[in-house]
Structure 1
Amino acid sequence: MKHFDEAATRKPLAFERLVPALRAAFAAGAQVPPRHVHAVETAPGSTADSAGSSGSSSDKGTVLIMPAWSDAGFLGIKTINIFPGNSARGLPGLHATYVLYDARTGVPLAMMDGNEITARRTAAASALGASFLARADARRLLVLGTGRIARMLPAAHASVRPIDEVRVWNHRPEGAEALAAQWRAEGWNAHAVTDLQAAVRQADIVSCATLATAPLVRGEWLAPGSHLDLIGSFTPAMREADVQCFAGAGTFVDTDEALQKSGDLLDAMAAGTLKAHEVRGTLAALCRGECAGRSDEAQRTVFKAVGSAIEDLTAATLVWQDAI
């Protein structure tokens, strides 16, 4: 079994290649069983973290197990651990591994860096949604969050839209400043913002990649013609947008699973600002041409993603095929 570290996993996954691969994969389809979701809570003092401090009652996490297989002959299983409390330890909140198998024999082919696959496929799916839903002239991108996925969003969206201005907001302003400086060093016109309301009003695309459990973006802030991209939250307890964000907007999801998993959608449906039948389509339907995306330049659009194992399998297959 081959092993692909972070750098080797990243190498074949440029967004100019990954976004079209996801579009083809969603159009073709794959077998994607429902993910397994498990809550993890360690007893106080039962473990010691990497910094040497004792575990506490705040050591709560979520484990996702996400399988998928395709007619191309590949089977993949991702295990992903999400521990929001890690930010206080200076650790990433997400850790993942990915194992790729031969779907015809079950033989293990490769172990890959699941963090890199997760981040890059999530950012690529965000860009794929924007390719259908953001205005063709969208150039001002606002990113909420500073984690691994958030860091990739300018490059991902620039592969489908003419992004030339990037703003970033984070609940820790110093984190936003640091990321904006990193982006500037990479050649982006990037700045940190502290006035979230003003930044949302000015953005063509608002992309949320956080682990928030309370709404950050309010519908009244969103400009006509803007596109709201919600890719951070993935459980009923998480949410990044208030219920008014969905009122009057064209709402799309990555998969139908979002209607059961997304706190943003569940809240909006409970409040009546969105009805399930008003969701206009999934990524698969968009990629197959079964539904239209943006209807006019003034329409507000929302894309809500909770992630799909077909995205992981697509990225892992690219890594494997590049290697052989």
Structure 2
Amino acid sequence: MTDTSAVPAGTVTSGDDTHLRILSRTDLAGIEISLSDVVSTVEGAYRTLHAGQSDNPRKLTVKPHDEHSVSYAMLGRDGSRDVVAIKTSYKHGLDKGREDQHYYTTLTLYDDVTGLPVAMMDCSRIGSLRTPAVSALLARECAADGARSALVIGTGTQGRLALPFLLTTLPDLDRLMLFGTHSEGVAAVREQLRGHFPDRDVELVTELRTAAAEADVVVATAGAHTPAAIEADWLKPGALSILVGHGLAPSTLHQADRVVATSEAQMNVTGTDMADAEGRLPAVDTEFPPVLAGVAPGRRSATERIFAYNSGLVVTDIALGHRFAQLALAQGLGTEVPLWQ
């Protein structure tokens, strides 16, 4: 196991102006990194963005008319690391089941001090860690004091690490619930939870309305074909609902007492399925970076129902991707490609 603390947070050995180091999914899969390291890295990216040191422009989106696929391009700059990067994402088969879909995502990093490339990497593991870490930070800042129960909807990539990350930022949670319809996904959620917290288990729920009424924190990570759709009046006073994928009905947004978004601009691009009958989304009360910085409150009262929209910001991908690049280069991982020769 790699001691991640032994790799300085601000140094990466860049290549030269003719070669690009490629970090494959296999290269990144073997790198050990703690959940707390991931949370700290992601939180640092948000704080740097709020301080005005980073740039996170709105993502570009392309969809065909029948919406069978979607592609994104995201450019950003991390000012604390002096790294520029572009992330691309392409998913095909949105009209099909999960097993018939194709998904590819990459991140290319450049050192903005030397002007040299750092690496191009598969970004699937970065996203699988970054997103639940953001949900866990949202829960830490926006859940009611004394929150003890959490419900996760969905057992796909984002659902499988949701509970371990929640326990990292809210260690006092004592009831963990899961709603999922895929047996292999449920088994994967349990495996991930026990891998990080061997003494904890998850309660599989089938009565979603009952579970939602008992949850202090709800994290909806399911795919588009989920039967789950929690309504606002199912939630108890003081509940926090976090939308990552699907599993919440639009009423949880439109009837919320407070709306928090990682980025209002991104929510307006990717959250259109939560629009009302007139195609409108409500205004966001606060974005999340000011909450983390202590400038805006995450919660104003113990009883308000809060809706939080977790959309990926490329600055968090850059920070975590850079962290993985540090660890990978320290181990000599990756393949040098003479791309510009």
TM-score range, shorter chain: 0.7 to 0.9
Answer whether contact 2:161 2:189 (CA < 8 A) is retained: no
- The aligned counterpart of 2:8 is none
Residues 93 and 193 of structure 1, relative CA distance in 2, 3 Å threshold: farther
- Aligned residue for 2:308? 303
Write the mapping of 1:1-324 to structure 2, written as runs, cut at 5 A.
1-6=20-25, 8-9=27-28, 11=31, 13-29=33-49, 30-40=54-64, 60-71=68-79, 72-83=81-92, 85=94, 88=97, 90=99, 94-104=103-113, 106-162=115-171, 163-170=173-180, 172-175=181-184, 177-179=186-188, 181-183=190-192, 185-186=194-195, 187=198, 188-212=200-224, 216-232=229-245, 240-261=248-269, 262-263=271-272, 266-267=275-276, 275-276=282-283, 279-322=284-327, 323-324=329-330
Name the stretch that deviates more: 177-186 or 60-69.
Answer: 177-186
Aligned-pair CA distance for 1:245: 4.5
User: Aligned partners of 1:180 and 1:25: how far apart in 2?
Assistant: 27
Q: Secondary structure at the match of 2:311?
A: coil
Amino acid at match of 1:313: I
Cα distance change, pair 84–201 in 1 and its aligned pair in 2 (3 A) = farther
Question: Could you tell me how far 1:4 is from its partner in structure 2?
Answer: 2.9
Query: Is the CA contact (8 Å cut-off) linking 2:163 and 2:176 kept in structure 1?
Result: yes
What secondary structure does 1:291 align onto? Answer: coil
Query: Which one-letter code corresponds to 1:242 in the other structure?
Result: P
Alignment check: 8 A CA contact 2:93 2:100 kept: no
Kept in 1, the 8 Å contact 2:160–2:189? The answer is no
Deviation at 1:283, TM superposition (A): 1.5
Deviation at 1:85, TM superposition (A): 4.2
Give CA-to-partner distance per residue, 1:236-270, whole Å, 9 cap, x none: xxx73222444242210001214412125533885
Large movers: runs of 4+ above 6 Å:
none
In the alignment, the residues of structure 1 paired with residue 95 and residue 115 of structure 2 have an alpha-carbon distance, to the nearest angstrom, of 35
Relative CO higher for 1 or 2, CA cutoff 8 Å, sep ≥ 6?
2
User: May I ask how many residue pairs the two structures share in their alignment?
Assistant: 298
- What SS class does the counterpart of residue 128 from structure 1 fall into? helix
Structure 1 distance, partners of 2:101, 2:144, is 33
Distance in 2 of aligned mates of 1:18 and 1:149: 15
The 1:105–1:87 alpha-carbon spacing in structure 2 relative to 1, beyond 3 Å, is farther
Cα distance in 2 for partners of 1:155, 1:161 equals: 10
Quote the residue 2:12 is aligned against: none
Partner of 1:45: none
- Deviation of 1:88 after TM superposition, in Å, equals 3.1
Cα distance in structure 1, aligned partners of 2:272 and 2:263: 15
Q: Where does residue 44 of structure 1 map in the other structure? A: none
User: Could you say which residue in structure 2 is the equivalent of 1:50?
Assistant: none
- C-alpha contact 1:97 1:113 (8 A) present in aligned 2: yes
Corresponding letter in the other structure for 1:189: D
Q: Deviations over 1:155-207 (max 9, x none)?
A: 1111110233322213x353554345435654332122221111111111110
> Are the aligned partners of 1:177 and 1:191 in contact in 2 as well (CA < 8 Å)?
no
Counterpart CA distance in 2 for 1:38 and 1:275 is 24
Contact 2:21–2:120, Cα closer than 8 Å, also in 1: yes
> 1:240/1:89 Cα in 2 relative to 1: closer, same or farther (>3 Å)?
closer
Letter in 2 for 1:225: G
Aligned in 2, Cα 1:7/1:19: closer, same or farther, shift over 3 Å?
farther
Q: Distance in 2 between matches of 1:89 and 1:133?
A: 31
Deviates further, 239-248 or 131-140: 239-248
- Measured in 2, the distance between the counterparts of 1:95 and 1:105 equals 29
Q: Which ranges in structure 1 are unaligned for 5 or more consecutive residues?
A: 42-57, 234-238
Q: By how many angstroms is 1:95 displaced?
A: 2.9
Counterpart Cα distance in 2 of 1:104 and 1:86: 44
